[in-house]
Amino acid sequence: MEDDADRLYRIFQDLSAPLEQVKNSAAAVYRLIRDLSPLIEAHTSMVCPDCREVCCRNRHSYHDRSDQIYMSALGIRVNNSSPVADDAPCRFISQNGCMLERPERPFRCTWFFCEPLLEHMSGSMPPRVFRDFNNRLAEITSRRMDMLNSFELISTRIPRHVPGRD
Ligand code: SF4
Ligand code: SF4
Q: Give the Å distance between the CA of 147 and the centre of ligand 2.
A: 23
8 A C-beta contact, residue 161 and residue 7:
yes
8 A C-beta contact, residue 75 and residue 20:
no
What is the per-residue DSSP string for 54-121?
Answer: ---BGGG----HHHHHHHHHTT-------SS-TTSBPTTEETTEESS-GGGS-HHHHH---HHHHHHH
DSSP 35: H
Q: Give the Å distance between the CA of 161 and the centre of ligand 2.
A: 30
8 A C-beta contact, residue 18 and residue 73:
no
User: pTM of the prediction?
Assistant: 0.92
Q: Which residues face 97 on adjacent strands?
A: 94
Both ends of the chain: CA-CA distance in Å?
18
How far apart CA 161 and CA 8 sit, in angstroms, is 8
* Phi, psi angles (nearest 5°) of residue 98: -70, 135
pLDDT per residue as tens, the chain (166 positions): 678 999 999 999 999 888 999 999 999 999 999 999 999 999 999 999 999 999 999 999 999 999 999 999 999 999 999 889 999 999 999 988 999 999 999 999 999 999 999 999 999 999 999 999 999 999 999 999 999 999 999 988 875 666 666 5
> In a mutational test of the pocket of ligand 2, which residue from 60, 99, 102 has the highest number of ligand atoms less than 8 Å from its CB?
60
